[in-house]
Amino acid sequence: MLRKIITALSAFALLGAGTVALAPAANAATSGGYCFAYETNNYPYDTQPVYIQVSDDGTNWVEGITVQSDTFGCGGFTLWGSWTMKYVRAVARQEVRTSLGGVAAVWSGLAPIMANPGNGYVDLGTGVVRCVSRSVFPCP
């Protein structure tokens, strides 16, 4: 009996000292939040499209749903049905068009956190939106 008490107290002391830690629950998302800001001036990626992408393996992505950021560059999403129990990420993509309808520039960004398959809410962090392509005008 004394051995059990000593073992329990030793384990408890190690936990209290911070030398033993339980692994945190994996990020798992059926809902979540994100933010985006432009790299050039750190302004929010406000009222722009954000694509919530899902993947079975974390490498091959498909667009699940399209949402829109708020005036602060942030927003949220909820997945349902066949879009659940998958890896999840948020992608910002904005095309700037010319007056003739051609693409002048493409701004793109990826939220820094990818959620693992599961149920729950995850904050995907704040992504940086960069000018990644131009056809007529130089990126600022």
Q: What residue ranges do the domains of the chain occupy?
A: 25-134
| Higher pLDDT among residues 87 and 26, named by residue | 87
| Higher pLDDT among residues 130 and 1, named by residue | 130
CA distance linking residue 47 with residue 50, whole number of Å? 9
- Tens of pLDDT along 96-116? 887 887 778 889 999 999 999
| CA distances to 2, 11, 26, 38, 43 from 92, in Å | 60, 46, 24, 10, 14
Report the candidate in 75, 72, 20 with the shortest Cα–Cα distance to residue 46: 72
Compute the radius of gyration of the chain from its Cα atoms. Answer: 21
- Tens of pLDDT along 26-85? 355 789 999 999 998 999 999 999 999 999 999 999 999 999 999 999 999 999 888 889
Give this prediction's pTM: 0.74
Q: Into which CATH architecture does domain 25-134 fall?
A: Sandwich (2.60)
| Higher pLDDT among residues 1 and 65, named by residue | 65
| Token pair 């949220």 in the structure block, residue | 76
CA distance linking residue 69 with residue 78, whole number of Å? 14
Please name the helix (run of DSSP H) or strand (run of DSSP E) that holds residue 63, with its range, or none: strand 62-68
| CA distances to 4, 7, 8, 9, 113 from 1, in Å | 5, 10, 11, 12, 47
